[in-house]
């Protein structure tokens, strides 16, 4: 359907948006940084060797991405922060901004799935 060049551009745009959201998450406590940066790295891996190498060299994100991509997992404090902020954001959104029970349930179901995924990752000490 899409040519390989179009896919590369789409991955590059998504990766850049994810990186911007991750950078904003450094300053806003309700926006988790780690998942967005890992998404950015995955998109850059599929779109631009130069951008992927750049994000791996980053002092802020490089070590976390390398550990995740190598299957070594995430640091304990990264897991705690990501899960805590995710659950806080989901809870606030669900109870203050979403009226329909089915959407609340879907939000908590997705958050539960993400929680299981993160907890099953190896924990670095």
What are the sequence ranges of the domains in the chain? 1-72, 73-125
Q: What is the pLDDT along the chain (125 residues), one digit of tens a residue?
A: 678 899 999 999 999 999 999 888 888 766 778 888 999 999 999 999 999 999 999 998 899 899 988 999 999 998 998 899 889 988 998 999 999 999 999 999 999 998 999 999 999 97
Query: Tell me, what DSSP letter sits at residue 3?
Result: -
* CB-CB contact of 25 with 61 (8 Å): no
Query: Tell me, what DSSP letter sits at residue 74?
Result: E
Task: Give the span between the Cα atoms of 8 and 47, in whole angstroms.
Answer: 4
Instruction: Give Rg (Cα) of the chain.
Output: 16
């Amino acid at each position: 359907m899409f040519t390989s060049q179009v896919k590369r551009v789409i991955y590059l745009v998504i990766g850049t948006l994810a990186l911007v959201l991750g950078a904003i998450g450094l300053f806003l406590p309700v926006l988790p940084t780690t998942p967005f940066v890992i998404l950015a790295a995955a998109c850059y891996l599929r779109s631009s060797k130069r951008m992927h190498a750049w994000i791996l060299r980053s002092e802020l994100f490089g070590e976390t991405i390398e550990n995740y991509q190598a299957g070594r997992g995430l640091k304990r404090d990264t897991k705690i922060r990501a899960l805590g902020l995710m659950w806080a954001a989901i809870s606030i959104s669900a109870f203050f901004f979403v009226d329909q029970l089915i959407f609340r349930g879907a939000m908590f179901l997705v958050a539960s799935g993400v929680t299981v995924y993160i907890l099953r990752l190896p924990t670095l000490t």
